[in-house]
Amino acid sequence: MASKVTVTTLLQMKSKKEKIVALTAYDYPFSRLVDESEVDVILIGDSLGMVVQGESSTLPVTMDEMVYHTRIVARGASRAMVVGDMPFMSYQTELSDALFNAGRLLKEAGAAAIKLEGGASVCGLVEAMTRAGIPVMAHIGLTPQSVHQMGGFRVQRDRDRLLEDARQVEAAGAFSVVLEGIPADIAKEITDTLKIPTIGIGAGPDCDGQILVLHDLLGINEGHVPKFVKKYADLAGAAREGLRRYVKEVRGGKFPDKEHCY
Ligand code: KIV
């Protein structure tokens, strides 16, 4: 069995200029498939609110739901590093709540690290978690939990602020940072400036790694998909075709046939 990807592996990959491949997953069967494909990092993103639960934003996702999904994903991942996402309001109230909730993702769910959204404003949390032995992946740029504050899911273009956020989360101890929805030239500048790896989503080709939402790239999510998504398969089409044939065969008395009877 290949050795487990760790924080150290990711730092080494950056220094060797090897691209880090990351992907979301939300359940055991897909976790196994993603892990077998040698994806380096599996994020149980709170995007599950939108792609699995059918919500219009990530805001309703609860801490208990994140613990549940992280646990079933962790069970399927033998090589990839498992990162659990901190949902909205699980870390914005009190530091002690944030530490307790982050700890749950490691203790109860088997994650190796957590991710939270925010730059300079969350540095105190990043420091405290890192001190407590909880590795933190930061997330700056388009931060979906701030959808109402941003006035929608908008590309973030304030270069100075983005650079400052990136520098500060690194200084606070984050082991990597997701750059979401920012112009490619700014993402490159941040990537060249930081020692920790940057993982891009809608941030161009020069980040140290890339992440996508699994249901977008496999064509399961047929709702709105952003410009940066590339669809690598059409699982919704394949599922629809299989379901159509099943319905037709049951109605037509063709299933079950002899082969599928005792
Ligand atoms: O929630 C999520 O899936 C994410 C990634 C898209 C980075 O935050």
Angle separating helix axes 123-131 and 159-172, nearest 10 degrees: 20
Specify the pLDDT at position 175: 98
Atom in ligand 1 nearest the alpha carbon of residue 144: 8
Rounded mean pLDDT of 219-224?
90
26 shares a domain with 144 = yes
- Does 198 map to a domain? yes
- Ligand 1 pocket member 178 (CB < 6 A): yes
- Does 28 map to a domain? yes
- Ligand 1 pocket member 145 (CB < 6 A): no
The whole-model pTM stands at 0.97
Rounded mean pLDDT of 248-260?
97
- Ligand 1 pocket member 47 (CB < 6 A): yes
The closest of 193, 151, 186, 133 to 169, measured between CA atoms, is 193
105 shares a domain with 23 = yes
- Does 116 map to a domain? yes
Segments forming the whole domain that contains residue 96: 7-231
Question: What is the distance between the alpha carbons of residues 137 and 84, in angstroms, rounded to a whole number?
Answer: 10
Residue 225 has pLDDT above 90, yes or no: no
Query: What is the average pLDDT value for the chain, to the nearest integer?
Result: 97
245 shares a domain with 225 = no
Percent over 90 (pLDDT), the chain: 97
175 Cα distance to chain centroid? 15
- Ligand 1 centroid, distance to 45 Cα (angstroms): 5
- Does 11 map to a domain? yes
- Ligand 1 centroid, distance to 160 Cα (angstroms): 23
243 shares a domain with 192 = no
Pocket test for ligand 1, best of 24, 51, 177, 180 (most atoms within 8 A of CB): 24
Rounded mean pLDDT of 117-123?
97
Q: Which two tokens stand for residue 218?
A: 């496999």
52 shares a domain with 152 = yes
The structural domain count of the chain equals 2
Per-position DSSP letters for 240-254, written without gaps between them: HHHHHHHHHHHHTT-
108 shares a domain with 154 = yes
13-36 residues labelled b (16+ CB within 10 A) or e (exposed): bbeeeeebbbbbbbbbebbbebbe
Rounded mean pLDDT of 21-43?
98
173 shares a domain with 81 = yes
Rounded mean pLDDT of 217-229?
92
261 shares a domain with 174 = no
69 shares a domain with 166 = yes
198 shares a domain with 241 = no
Shortest-distance Cα residue to atom 5 of ligand 1: 45
148 shares a domain with 255 = no
Question: What is the distance between the alpha carbons of residues 67 and 107, in angstroms, rounded to a whole number?
Answer: 10
* Cis peptide bond upstream of 144, omega within 30: no
Residue 224 has pLDDT above 90, yes or no: no
Over residues 64-100, the pLDDT tens digits come to 999 999 999 999 999 999 999 999 999 999 999 999 9
Rounded mean pLDDT of 191-199?
98
Q: Which two tokens stand for residue 144?
A: 């979906």
> Do 88 and 61 form a contact (C-beta atoms < 8 A)?
yes
Rounded mean pLDDT of 99-108?
98
Specify the pLDDT at position 158: 97
- Does 1 map to a domain? no
Specify the pLDDT at position 1: 62
Shortest-distance Cα residue to atom 2 of ligand 1: 45
- Does 2 map to a domain? no
241 shares a domain with 191 = no
Task: Band the pLDDT of 222: cuts 50, 70, 90.
Answer: confident
- Ligand 1 centroid, distance to 167 Cα (angstroms): 21
- Does 169 map to a domain? yes
Q: What is the CATH number of the domain that holds 11?
A: 3.20.20.60
Residue type, 77: A
Rounded mean pLDDT of 187-201?
98
User: Environment class of residue 211 by beta-carbon count within 10 Å: exposed (0-12), middle (13-18) or buried (19+)?
Assistant: buried
Asked about 180 being catalytic, the answer comes back as yes
Specify the pLDDT at position 215: 97
Shortest-distance Cα residue to atom 3 of ligand 1: 45
The closest of 66, 57, 134 to 95, measured between CA atoms, is 134
- Does 243 map to a domain? yes
Catalytic residue among 180, 189, 222, 249: 180
Per-position DSSP letters for 201-217, written without gaps between them: ESS-TTSSEEEE-HHHH
